[in-house]
Chain A
Amino acid sequence: AQSVTQLDSHVSVSEGTPVLLRCNYSSSYSPSLFWYVQHPNKGLQLLLKYTSAATLVKGINGFEAEFKKSETSFHLTKPSAHMSDAAEYFCVVLTGGGNKLTFGTGTQLKVEL
């Protein structure tokens, strides 16, 4: 069985400070992992994906995530938050034949001046 846990439902940071959104997964197989972002009243947009190549994955808008097998983690980071980063972020794990995507429950990121 596979699952994904987003450890914080809400994260608040000041503009210009680092962002850390935490995600832990469990999977019986070598997983593919994704981070998606959802702005209000919009669909989900892909930020980045890990598919067993480099463990440090760079995405759009300055985000990156590191796959750590020993810790079963795939945390999302950004060195400096911008107001436009305020949104909900979803960690997603994919195993098996490609149709078993499991979504985390989401982390709402708030960016304050």
Chain B
Amino acid sequence: NAGVTQTPKFRVLKTGQSMTLLCAQDMNHEYMYWYRQDPGMGLRLIHYSVGEGTTAKGEVPDGYNVSRLKKQNFLLGLESAAPSQTSVYFCAIRTGFIYNSPLHFGNGTRLTVT
């Protein structure tokens, strides 16, 4: 999935710890998204950004914060991790200017909270 890089690929946290997931794109797109994927639930939108300096809540934003200080980077933060946040996290970018342009996904970050 060239163009969208997520770091780290794997992480194990203890309950209450904090961490930041980084999504970096090299394609200069405006719209960036953070999703979480859980078995049997598809993907659910956490937060998204429509451009540098902007963020908005998605479907499941509680317990997460985001920042988009630079256009290329979209950060997802967990201030106090909980076991319910064990999931696979995907970053995505919208590949075009029109509203129904497809999304392009990173390879994911697998997070376990014990």
- B90 adjacent to A44 (CB under 8 Å): yes
List A contacts of B4 (CB < 8 A).
Answer: 43
Most buried by B among A34, A101, A103, A106: A101
List B contacts of A32 (CB < 8 A).
Answer: 100
- B42 adjacent to A104 (CB under 8 Å): yes
Rounded to whole angstroms, the CA-CA distance of A44 and B105 in the bound complex is: 6
CB distance from A47 to the nearest CB of B (A): 10
CB distance from A78 to the nearest CB of B (A): 19
CB distance from A8 to the nearest CB of B (A): 13
List B contacts of A105 (CB < 8 A).
Answer: 40-42
List A contacts of B58 (CB < 8 A).
Answer: 99
Q: Mark A70-100, 1 if CB is under 8 A from B, else 0.
A: 0000000000000000000010001001110
- B94 adjacent to A98 (CB under 8 Å): yes
- B40 adjacent to A98 (CB under 8 Å): no
Rounded to whole angstroms, the CA-CA distance of A45 and B105 in the bound complex is: 7
List A contacts of B94 (CB < 8 A).
Answer: 98
- A43 adjacent to B107 (CB under 8 Å): yes
Interface assignment of B84: CB less than 8 Å from any CB of chain A: no
Residues of A within 8 A of B (CB): 9, 32, 34, 41-46, 49, 51, 90, 94, 97-99, 101, 103-106
Residues of B within 8 A of A (CB): 1, 4, 31, 40-45, 48, 50, 56, 58, 90, 92, 94, 98-100, 102-108
